[in-house]
Structure 1
Amino acid sequence: MGSSSHHNQEDVLKSADSTAWFRSYLHGGTSSLISTLTTIITFPLYKTVFRQQLHSTLVREAVAQLFKEGPVKLFRGVAPPLLMRSLNGTLLFGLQDTFLQQLSLCSMPTLPRNALPALAGLGAGVVEALLFTPFERVQNILQNSRNDSRLPTLRSILLKLASRPLASGYYTAFLPILIRNALGSSLYFGLKGPMSNTLRSYGCSPVAASFTAGVLNSVVISLPLYPLSVLVANMQARVDGGGRGVKTSWQQLWAARQHRLTLLYRGGFLVILRSCVTWGITTAIYDQLERHSR
């Protein structure tokens, strides 16, 4: 009788764990899906920044380029970030929660408990880079107007990349993406909880605290990691430019920016602003869903 009761308790615990596991993926996907509205609204802004990253142009010059190309081409390349954004939240929040649960079960006395969310975020960021580098590669090719005549359709781009080795095809610039995503995810999940709790202790409502934590987190992450995004954009934008190594690509980029940080960070303010809005909304929605489910 006691053995049967013990087995029943184990079954209940396993069921609860699987429900919590599924819930984190569902809430991550829902929050990201809702925040994709900001992706659509701010896509022209993102495309303006991409032109600045690629050609080191001023805002007015990038806007003039897009205006000249017309409204039809303005949203060329929006499909990959929309798909990536929806899947990204599902996997990022879900995997981080899964890794966190596994790490919590491990006995690691030398590792502080409050470091576990950041470590789980690091693991989620690595998986994210592995899965989404091809999406980013396709997106950057689509957004580069110099590819329009040679590769006019998404299918033509996919076929071209498939014909190349992975390192110079779909996985061009994998190393800087891996570093950026792993560090970014680790910082996000490591700082999100403490920031939100601190803001709530000062009287902020739970939703306001989550939104502000998402915004502040985005600033902390985006500012130092922005040069990696510029490097990735320049490495991935050309289909035939995937053979150069990271070191060579960085040297060429730094020389093209006249060895000046101000030119390297051109367009950075717009990226950080867009990221703040997106991650503020995503964090607020995710935390609210988690609170309601508990």
Structure 2
Amino acid sequence: MEKSSDVKPGGEDSKARFQTYLIGGTSSLLSTLPTIVVFPIYKTIFRQQIHNSLVQEAVGQLRKEGLVKLYRGVAPPLVMRTLNGTLLFGFQDTLLCQLSLRFQDVIPAAALPALAGFGAGMVEAVVFTPFERVQNILQNSLNDRQLPTLSSVLSQLRAQRPALGYYRAFLPITARNALGSSLYFGLKGPTRAFVAEQGLPPLASSFVSGTLTSMAISLALYPLSVLVANMQAQVGGEPKGVAACWRALWRARQQNVALLYRGGSLVILRSCITWGITTAVYDLQVKK
């Protein structure tokens, strides 16, 4: 039997776990203002993903629609940002703790954060796929007349089975989120340590590491985001599987990687702002 002095009290452990969820949510909440600021950029990217248009053409579409419609669909990402940070950071920390206790002699310690991030990303996909589905429908101008309000979108999705309604494109979202979270938690620590060695203060090191890590992930997984946007933007029609949708997208992009990555440069700017701030705020609170 272990001595009581060697066992961490359950209350303290639970409090530490809850604090991680709280810090993750707070970090993402503080990045909601940049989310509002860069939402027009996000919407521009979305239009490029859907219509394969140039930046000037996408901006022209949004300008023609007016300021009111510019922020149509902003509610889901605002809610997602706060809840996403709460779940992602908190659940990753919970998984990391469990993996460290059970598999510390089997799995290298350096790989544990990435493995825990992979699991957190899968849970994230289950929770947030419906949010992303609603957001993509609202952002598609082709749905404005048929589905003018949030309530009309929700009613339409409820009438369909989950695979075609709320959980359309669940598989590519799971792949994107699981891989992205795994890379983020696996790389941000080593990247922060490397940047700190260059003489930057801790807060700046965290910001730069979050920016560089999320930038690389966004670009690597961008084709999955394009696929998700195209699968989720439409409501109704002939149901197609992931493979069929990917073939149709690849043909629509003329089998050209450059066209597939149209809008990718703006992803860099969005990642620099949102995940740089989120990482810096999270690391700052954790170190207190």
| Counterpart in the other structure of 1:66 | 62
Counterpart residue type for residue 129 of structure 2: T
Counterpart residue type for residue 116 of structure 1: L
Tell me the CA shift for residue 155 of structure 1: 0.6
* Residue from 184, 193, 203 that aligns with 2:199: 203
1:269 and 2:275 correspond: no
Q: TM-score, normalised by structure 1?
A: 0.95
**1:35-114 aligned within 5 A:** 35-114=31-110
State the secondary structure of the residue aligned to 2:103.
coil
- Whether contact under 8 Å (2:215, 2:267) holds in the other structure is no
Q: Which whole-Å CA distance do the structure 2 matches of 1:241 and 1:208 have between them?
A: 48
* Residue from 213, 219, 230 that aligns with 1:217: 213
- Whether contact under 8 Å (1:235, 1:241) holds in the other structure is no
State the secondary structure of the residue aligned to 2:160.
coil
| Counterpart in the other structure of 2:222 | 226
Superimposed CA distance per residue, residues 32-70 of structure 1 (whole angstroms, 9 cap, x where no aligned partner): 000011110000111111000000011111111111111
Tell me the CA shift for residue 137 of structure 1: 0.3
**1:1-294 aligned within 5 A:** 10=7, 13-241=9-237, 243-292=239-288
Q: Which moved more, 1:275-284 or 1:106-115?
A: 106-115
Q: How many matched pairs?
A: 288
Superimposed CA distance per residue, residues 109-145 of structure 1 (whole angstroms, 9 cap, x where no aligned partner): 3310110000000000000000000000000000001
- Whether contact under 8 Å (1:188, 1:217) holds in the other structure is yes
Counterpart residue type for residue 253 of structure 2: R
Counterpart residue type for residue 148 of structure 1: D
Unaligned runs of 5+ in 1: none
Tell me the CA shift for residue 20 of structure 1: 1.1
Tell me the CA shift for residue 8 of structure 1: 7.8
Q: Which whole-Å CA distance do the structure 2 matches of 1:56 and 1:163 have between them?
A: 30
List structure 1 runs of 4+ shifted beyond 4 angstroms: 6-10
Q: TM-score, normalised by structure 2?
A: 0.97
- C-alpha change, 1:84 and 1:199, in structure 2 (3 Å) is same
Tell me the CA shift for residue 204 of structure 1: 1.5
- Whether contact under 8 Å (2:219, 2:267) holds in the other structure is no
- Whether contact under 8 Å (1:168, 1:242) holds in the other structure is no
Superimposed CA distance per residue, residues 62-101 of structure 1 (whole angstroms, 9 cap, x where no aligned partner): 1111111111111000000000111000000000000000
Unaligned runs of 5+ in 2: none
Q: Which whole-Å CA distance do the structure 1 matches of 2:264 and 2:198 have between them?
A: 31
- Whether contact under 8 Å (1:236, 1:242) holds in the other structure is no
Superimposed CA distance per residue, residues 187-236 of structure 1 (whole angstroms, 9 cap, x where no aligned partner): 00001111111222222211011001001101220111000000000000
Q: Which whole-Å CA distance do the structure 2 matches of 1:236 and 1:177 have between them?
A: 11
Tell me the CA shift for residue 9 of structure 1: 7.1
- Whether contact under 8 Å (1:167, 1:242) holds in the other structure is no
Which protein is richer in helix relative to its size?
A: 1
